[in-house]
Copies of this chain bind each other. A is one copy, B any other.
Amino acid sequence: MTSTERAVNGRRYRLPRVPTVIVCIDGCEQDYVNQAVQAGVAPFFASLAAQGTVLAGDCAMPSFTNPNNLSIVTGVPPSVHGICGNYFFDPEQQAEVLMNDARYLRAPTVLAALAEAGSRVAVVTAKDKLRALLGHGLKGVCFSAEKADEATQAGHGIDDVLRRVGRPLPSVYSADLSEFVFAAGEMLLRTQRPDLMYLSTTDYIQHKFAPGTEGANAFYAMMDRYLAAMDGLGAVIGVTADHGMNAKTDALGRPNIVFLQDELDTAHPGATRVLLPITDPYVVHHGALGSYATVYLQDAARLAPVAASLRALPGVDEVLTRAEAAARFELPADRIGDLVVLAHRLTVLGTSASRHDLSGLTVPLRSHGGLSEQRVPLLFNRRLLPDDAARLRNFDVLHLALNRLA
């Protein structure tokens, strides 16, 4: 290994020689970009087909935000970095807890390793929930749009963010939250010119608007303008997503929900505990409803009958044992339940009807979590050398941007 590269989690990364911006567009089903391009509002994205590189890859499963952001910044699947949901059952605490704390992270990030090697690194996230994980061990700038007003030099590597960005603190449920991430990224590129920057948005808009609709196109037009500006500042840009997004409703927009805990409590009283790893403190826009769930059993002997009950439910596509799910989806076996359940593209999985507050669903539910949201874009504003990977992943984005520039 030369002094210009570093090995992280078994992969080698060249230190950036040109400012490199990696963007994770939360919930970026590929058709959002396509439809915005078709509508003529995304000229920068449109330019990538001719002047850059347009690929697609599979995200880590479950197709949720935290596992995938961590895969992107570590370059490895959840089986290695340990973050397999927003929420999990912690066997040490014997409790269901958020997986936001960096002590759950089992691998260093490429960001931290390159900063250690001398690269100047900056991270801006939309929601604060990701900041601690993404910034773990990082010597550099790391703050969230949500709590931009609380950033300090000592804690976040920067202060006075609102003034520097020139925008007020955005609401956590808004398109503004993501725009603030881009505005901060452009400000950093202009003022500090970090060698490596990671920008991660929120999917508030994608949960509400279908590809090609006005609300979605306006959001992608906004991102297109900032990306064009950063391109104009000479940055190498790589864009991917944590997961896609699909409608989860019937023809009248009513959610298709299978309440797994209710179903299992009827068929197998007291035998199971259903856990939804999508659960986090920000559930207003999706009601904690996604297309992936995990089920813990009180008694392992009940595995087969419980699995059979789950498989018989309309809207359930696949039921895997812990070992099967860990192997197929590269998940940490000690952090998932005895069974993993995947829903149909148009269906979400709930626990009990009484435990989901759907009052925030003011528009028809769109969500993610399943295999139907695994395919995401991998877009670059530079030509890349061909890569011999049989299957590209969203967490190859750092490798591609740093190692495969033509």
Contacts and interface: CB of A to CB of B under 8 A. Distances in A.
A38 B208 CA distance: 11
A152 interface: no
B345 A345 contact: yes
Given A372-B372, A375-B344, A252 B48 contact: yes
A57 to B, nearest CB: 11
A164 interface: no
A30 B247 contact: yes
A323 to B, nearest CB: 22
A33 interface: yes
Contacts of A46: 252
B56 A250 contact: yes
Contacts of A377: 250-251
A45 B314 contact: no
Given A30-B250, A54-B251, A345-B372, 15 more contacts: A30-B346, A31-B210, A31-B247, A31-B249, A34-B247, A34-B249, A34-B250, A34-B364, A37-B252, A37-B253, A48-B252, A56-B250, A209-B212, A212-B212, A345-B345
Contact of A390 (B45, B247, B314): B314
Nearest to A28: B251
A38 B345 contact: no
Nearest to A391: B314
